[in-house]
Amino acid sequence: MNEDLYKFLKHRIEALEIQNKDLKKTINRVMNEMEQEIKAKDNKVIAEFMGYEDVDDLEYHKSWVWLMPVCQKIDQYLEDNIGNARHFDDCLSCNDIDAKYKAVVKFINQLNN
């Protein structure tokens, strides 16, 4: 193999690896931004369900202190309207905040539709 061709190909591979790392960083950054936007929207839906308006810095997605009152309100709603309990029962017994948060958002969105 020609040594110059080898050096050229090695350089191109290294350049591509650098580009791929940068691309991965960019994709991860964009995905994180999108995830934050989704959580902000979902947190706003939860705040409205709880009767709050114009609230910033909502932490329903990461704080049990924030999320549990919502679950209690939903639990009370289900007791009052037992026919609407279909998909939420499993969430109330879950100890994973992400799963519970997603179930709360899904419940409220279905309730609002």
pLDDT digits (tens, 9 = 90+) for 6-33: 777 778 878 877 777 787 788 888 888 8
Percent of the chain with pLDDT over 90: 26
- Taking the domains of the chain in order of start, what are their residue ranges? 3-112
Task: Indicate if the pLDDT at residue 87 is higher than 90.
Answer: no
Specify the pTM. 0.68
Helices 3-49 and 64-80: crossing angle in degrees, nearest 10, is 50
Cβ neighbors of 32 (< 8 A, separation 6 or more) are: none
Tell me what pLDDT residue 53 has: 85
Radius of gyration of the chain (CA): 23
- Cβ contact 29:36 at 8 Å: no
